[in-house]
Structure 1
Amino acid sequence: MEQFERARLDSYFARIADTFAPTEKPSCFLITHLLPERPSFVRAVGTGTRLRAVLPKPKSIDPAARREIEKTTQCDTLSRELFEDAAAAVDYVESRAAGEDVVLCDVGGYFAPILNALCDNFSGRILGVVEDTENGHKRYAERDKLPCPVVSVARSPLKDPEDFLVGQSVVFSTEALMRSRGDILHGRAALVIGFGKLGSSIARLLHAKGVQVTVHDVDPVRRTQALSQGFTVARDRDAALHGAGLVLCATGAVSLRGEDFSSLRNGAYVATVTSSEDELDLAALPDVYQRTPNGEHVTRYQTTGHYFYLLNGGNAVNFLHGASVGPFIFLVQAEILAGVRMLTRGDLGHGMHEVDADDRASIAATWLNYYNR
Structure 2
Amino acid sequence: MGTAEPVTPVGQAAEGELRIGWAARSMPVLAGIAERFARERPLDGLRIAACLHVTAETAVLLQVLREGGAEIALAASNPLSTQDDVAAALRERGIAVHARAGADLQTYYRHIHQALDIAPHLVLDDGCDLVNVLHTERVELLGDVVGGCEETTTGIIRLRQMAAEGALRFPVVAVNDTRTKRMVDNRYGTGQSTLDGIIRATNLLLAGRVVVVAGFGFCGRGVADRARGLGARVIVTEVDPVKALEAALQGYQVEPMSRAAELGDVFITVTGNRDVIRAEHFAVMKDGAVLANAGHFDVEIDVRALRELASAVRHGVRPNTDEYVLPDGRRLLLLAEGRVVNLTAAEGHPAAVMDISFSAHALAAAWLVTEGRGLPPGVHDLPSAIDAEIARLELAAAGVTIDTLTPDQERYLRSWRLGS
Distance change >3 Å, CA 13–CA 291, structure 1 → 2: farther
2:105 and 2:159 map into 1 onto residues whose CA distance is: 15
1:230 and 1:333 map into 2 onto residues whose CA distance is: 33
Deviation, 1:263, is 3.3
Partner of 1:44: 64
Q: Secondary structure at the match of 1:173?
A: helix
* Mapped contact 2:72–2:96 kept (Cα < 8 A): yes
Partner of 1:156: 178
2:279 and 2:39 map into 1 onto residues whose CA distance is: 49
Partner of 2:369: 344
1:338 and 1:258 map into 2 onto residues whose CA distance is: 44
Q: TM-score, normalised by structure 2?
A: 0.77
* Mapped contact 2:49–2:116 kept (Cα < 8 A): no
2:280 and 2:45 map into 1 onto residues whose CA distance is: 50
More strand by share: 1
Report which stretch shifted further, 31-40 or 334-343.
Answer: 31-40
Matches within 5 A, 1:1-373: 1-2=21-22, 5=25, 11-18=31-38, 21-22=41-42, 25-48=45-68, 50-57=70-77, 58-71=79-92, 72-77=94-99, 92=114, 95-97=117-119, 102-117=121-136, 120-122=139-141, 124-143=143-162, 144-145=165-166, 146-159=168-181, 160-163=183-186, 164-179=188-203, 183-234=204-255, 236-254=256-274, 255-275=276-296, 277-289=298-310, 290-292=312-314, 293-305=316-328, 306-319=330-343, 320-345=345-370, 346-372=373-399
Q: Which residue identity is paired with 1:243?
A: L
Partner of 2:412: none
Deviation, 1:27, is 1.2
1:222 and 1:312 map into 2 onto residues whose CA distance is: 28
Q: TM-score, normalised by structure 1?
A: 0.86
Distance change >3 Å, CA 361–CA 280, structure 1 → 2: same
**Which consecutive unaligned segments of at least 5 residues does structure 1 have?**
none
2:198 and 2:116 map into 1 onto residues whose CA distance is: 42
Deviation, 1:318, is 2.2
1:82 and 1:3 map into 2 onto residues whose CA distance is: 28
1:134 and 1:23 map into 2 onto residues whose CA distance is: 26
Deviation, 1:153, is 0.9
Distance change >3 Å, CA 79–CA 357, structure 1 → 2: farther
* Mapped contact 1:327–1:371 kept (Cα < 8 A): no
Distance change >3 Å, CA 342–CA 318, structure 1 → 2: same
1:316 and 1:243 map into 2 onto residues whose CA distance is: 23
Deviation, 1:223, is 0.6
* Mapped contact 1:21–1:341 kept (Cα < 8 A): no
- How large is the Cα RMSD of the aligned pairs? 3.0
Q: Secondary structure at the match of 1:329?
A: helix
* Mapped contact 2:175–2:360 kept (Cα < 8 A): yes
* Number of residue-to-residue matches in the alignment: 363
* Mapped contact 2:213–2:269 kept (Cα < 8 A): yes
Deviation, 1:49, is 5.0
Deviation, 1:25, is 3.6
1:17 and 1:79 map into 2 onto residues whose CA distance is: 36
Deviation, 1:150, is 1.0
Distance change >3 Å, CA 287–CA 147, structure 1 → 2: same
Q: Which residue identity is paired with 1:315?
A: R
1:94 and 1:168 map into 2 onto residues whose CA distance is: 33
Identity of aligned residues (%): 20
**Which consecutive unaligned segments of at least 5 residues does structure 2 have?**
1-20, 401-420
1:188 and 1:44 map into 2 onto residues whose CA distance is: 43
> If you compute each CA radius of gyration, which structure gives the higher value, 1 or 2?
2
